[in-house]
Amino acid sequence: MSAQPFGPRAVLALVGIGALTFVALLYALGNGFTGGSGNDGGGHALSRSLTGYAALAELTERSGMEVSIAREDRLLRAPGLLILTPPHDADGDKLAALIEARRTLGPTLLVLPKWTARQIPPGTGTDAKTGWVMLGGTQSPRWIGALTDGAKLGIANNGNTATSLDQTSAVPLAVPAQVQTLTEPGGDDDSPTLLALVENDNGGKLAAYANDDGSYPALDDWSGWGSPDEPDESLFPLVIVAEPDLLDNYGLARRETALTALRLVRATAGGRTGPVLFDVTLNGLGRTRNLLTLAFTPPVLAATLALLMAAFVVAWRAFNRFGPPRLQARAIAYGKSALVENSAGLIRRAGRLRLLGAPYAALIAARLARLLGLPPGVSAQAIDSAQIRRGLPGPSFTELSAALAAARSPHDLIRRAAALRSLEKAFSS
């Protein structure tokens, strides 16, 4: 046995901790936990900047609704309320296709971008924290035409407050001089494309929903419009918020705005408590499915856990069966005994045992000659004469030598060599 610097428990602890760490790393890689918190100053639910929506996500969750972040494209087609916060450079056609596909899957709340912002690097001589931004101005997204026919966006000074049509309450605006509104050509008519929920004094829509054949009691009560006589029950509402300060962190710093934002989310969801999905894939924070993600996703997760348990059982069995490693022995040991054993093994492997009889008889003859004081190379007859003079019974040395030389099987060799050895012992006594 070799001296071990660690005991069995220490070795087992090291192996266990290493295995758990490796599995945790695989899980983190597969589920996108190694890419940071997402607080990058962007306009999404993971951002705590002025233009982010982390406050809305937290407010919604604390109100009792089930909130989650959608990092995969497949989740965008899941049931429940989906809140989209696309950036200025979003693909309008792709966004329109996504919204159209969700009309029969679940309600959608689309928040249009307005602010252009630049992230302030921490530690640059300011008190800025991670994710803080500097507002650089406003700009309306150009892809609005891909979503609504004829609708236009405008940014102007629209007063200090807006009016929520659900109870005609005043909603304070974060920056009254730069309010983004959504208007339709021709003004109001009997059947507008978008029904206002929050608007300014000039009739510009800050938040509105699509006027279609669907029945949305909560939104209809808010806007004051009646439901269709024969509504399409398969449709879900589409709400467009043109003024992002109604929902972003900048606007939710005011209590009245936060309450209006929560009512808007609940009305869009139709009074349901969840689930509410905040999309971040349009903001470049999505992740694609890979083998690691698949390994930790049901139902494949069950097979992954089974393999991990099997690996643990095999490792435990091997650890308790074999124990610490042994020192490797020499290929050729020291001493005469080792030399004899190695020589015997070589002869046995060569298959030449039958050739050992005559040399062994000659060896015994030489030893008897020295014992009797006879000259080297003495004949077998001389040894026979010495045997007769001493009166030793049994076959003569010549007969025993001839029988040994004629032996072929291992059994006969050993038996006849033992008889010759017995005669030698008789001479010695």
- Do residues 80 and 275 touch, judged by C-beta distance below 8 A? yes
Mean per-residue pLDDT for 245-252?
Answer: 93
The Cα 91–Cα 3 span in angstroms is: 67
Of 271, 220, 218, give the one whose Cα is nearest residue 81: 271
pLDDT at 6: 64
The Cα 285–Cα 178 span in angstroms is: 28
Sign of the torsion formed by the C-alpha atoms of 57, 62, 66 and 68: positive
Rounded percentage of the chain residues whose pLDDT exceeds 90: 25
pLDDT at 152: 76
pLDDT at 292: 65
Return the residue matching tokens 């006879």: 374
pLDDT at 1: 46
**Model-wide pTM > 0.75:** no
The Cα 198–Cα 204 span in angstroms is: 9
Task: Please state the domain extents for the chain.
Answer: 33-286, 336-428
* Lowest pLDDT segment from 222-231, 234-243, 327-336: 327-336
The Cα 292–Cα 310 span in angstroms is: 19
Return the residue matching tokens 């060896």: 363
Return the residue matching tokens 């005559």: 358
pLDDT at 37: 65
At 32, is the secondary structure helix, strand, or coil? coil
State pLDDT tens for residues 191-229. Answer: 778 889 998 877 788 999 988 888 899 999 998 888 777
Residue 55 banded pLDDT, cuts 50, 70, 90: very high
- pLDDT exceeds 70 at position 187: no
Q: Where are the beta strands (DSSP E) in 22-177?
A: 67-70, 81-84, 108-111, 115-119, 133-138, 152-156, 161-164, 169-172
- Do residues 287 and 76 touch, judged by C-beta distance below 8 A? no
Q: Would you state the structure tokens that stand for residue 344, as one six-digit string?
A: 């015997």
For residue 244, say if its preceding peptide bond is cis, omega within 30 degrees of 0.
no
Of 171, 169, 187, give the one whose Cα is nearest residue 179: 171
First vs last C-alpha separation in the chain: 47
State pLDDT tens for residues 124-183. Answer: 556 777 778 888 889 999 888 888 776 677 777 766 778 888 766 788 888 888 889 888
* Lowest pLDDT segment from 73-87, 165-179, 253-267, 310-324: 310-324
